[in-house]
Structure 1
């Protein structure tokens, strides 16, 4: 039994193909809908699974080709995040047999496939899958410097194995230990879901994140891009909550916030807490925004603002988050920028031992805040291009 799956997002097709093959189906996939029509003609599938929202030829156009041009009654299933009634109705009027709304589990998809075309005869019992097919695809940049001992490799791999739609990009920022080898080992067998970007020289966290974000913009199937600390002081489940917020809103940036409150597990060293309050007060004055926590290492961005936020090198190494928000303000204007930014409290944030930003460094950061205020001042610097390389905290 042959299945043709068509979706412009490779991160959706890969786990679907793997699962159907495990169940005994012959499966071909295609991200380009024009090529998919050619593949349909030569593959002669027993079932087509197609997404609706694709560039060029839409999923409904594929259905029309099969039903009207080819005059085929072969079963067609739609797997889409589109929940518009008129689109769903049009699909059934064109002759689709099933409409599945993302997100949903692979188990449900496979059960629907079996209902339409039956199950290949297999003697061995296949264990049920706990994988979810997501509506959106997200790239996550994780800067790494000397993380050989701290990198929680299993937590990363377990998460992407269970949650489709995530592609992790680990940026090795010129580590002096064995971090690069650890990352390359982590990537093995998961090359479609994990990228290792190697910087030969240490350029600091700001530059590592910037290069990683620009590298990931080249992946066309990603809807959103974000970054996360390697020590998982903010865990991936909390990060996914940020993604859910941005995909269901008009926000362009959703930033995690480490606000201590009832029902949340937010722990900081007391000295860091005092320094943070001082720094945050200065930042609010610089940005003219009531941000509670700009420096949380968990943020998610709409892909269309990545150029504004990351094209130019940052002036500072640790305060690039402030520079991002300042760049948004200078590009869109303060009122519009405020409407595009969302600060979302985290459920969990734990200060990790071995954090490279010391209390002494935090005090020195105040001087760098003055530098940001000066360099990004006023509307006359709207097209400011920082030429200096990222400063290091001495």
Structure 2
């Protein structure tokens, strides 16, 4: 079962290791990635396009005027829902990942490696919600997944992905 991951970028040129990230993404076939460029002023968008050229599972949503992270997440969600039939969709903001000292490339590898645990995390979240999730509320935070230390199956993986 494929999962979707929406990744929000804003001026992250220095944080993207283009060749390394593209190489990793080529081997991750069970994750559909939607890169959302939230009006970057640096070369972030060009780097994302370079990655997309070599990776079939990557799409890009370009936002021309800077919007809130929540609005950028919704833009990515609309794209993913309109183009893929996925039951499990998470999101990441690269700038928030940085503040928590997570490395994007390693996080994506971990998501691929622990995809089943991620799906269980999403199912548990949906079951614990008192109201039926709407389109945008059904998208879960991958950062919450990474920070959740109750997942025994993750073990020391969280420590491995810190920069």
TM-score (norm 2): 0.67
Provide the rounded CA distance (Å) in 2 between the counterparts of 1:202 and 1:250: 29
Distance 1:206 1:233, change over 3 A: farther
Structure 1 unaligned regions, length at least 5: 1-135, 255-303, 312-319, 326-340, 352-394
- Residue 185 of structure 1 aligns to a residue whose secondary structure is helix
Q: Tell me what 1:148 maps to.
A: 13
Q: Tell me what 1:209 maps to.
A: 73
Provide the rounded CA distance (Å) in 2 between the counterparts of 1:246 and 1:159: 19
Aligned residues: 140
Provide the rounded CA distance (Å) in 2 between the counterparts of 1:202 and 1:248: 34
Structure 2 unaligned regions, length at least 5: 95-102, 127-131
Distance 1:146 1:248, change over 3 A: closer
1:175 CA displacement: 0.8
- Residue 209 of structure 1 aligns to a residue whose secondary structure is helix
Provide the rounded CA distance (Å) in 2 between the counterparts of 1:206 and 1:182: 23
Distance 1:227 1:179, change over 3 A: same
Provide the rounded CA distance (Å) in 1 between the counterparts of 2:108 and 2:76: 18
1:229 CA displacement: 4.2
Please say if 1:159 is aligned against 2:24.
Answer: yes
Q: Tell me what 2:41 maps to.
A: 176
Match of 1:307 among 111, 132, 135: 135
Residues 85-234 of structure 1: pairs in structure 2 closer than 5 A:
136-190=1-55, 192-230=56-94, 231-232=103-104
RCO greater where, 1 or 2, for CA within 8 Å and sep 6 or more? 2
1:193 CA displacement: 1.2
Structure with more helix by fraction = 2
Distance 1:200 1:245, change over 3 A: same
- Residue 109 of structure 2 aligns to a residue whose secondary structure is helix
Provide the rounded CA distance (Å) in 1 between the counterparts of 2:20 and 2:85: 24
- What's the Cα RMSD here? 3.5
Provide the rounded CA distance (Å) in 1 between the counterparts of 2:117 and 2:29: 18
Per-residue CA deviations over 1:101-132 (Å, capped at 9, x if unaligned) read xxxxxxxxxxxxxxxxxxxxxxxxxxxxxxxx
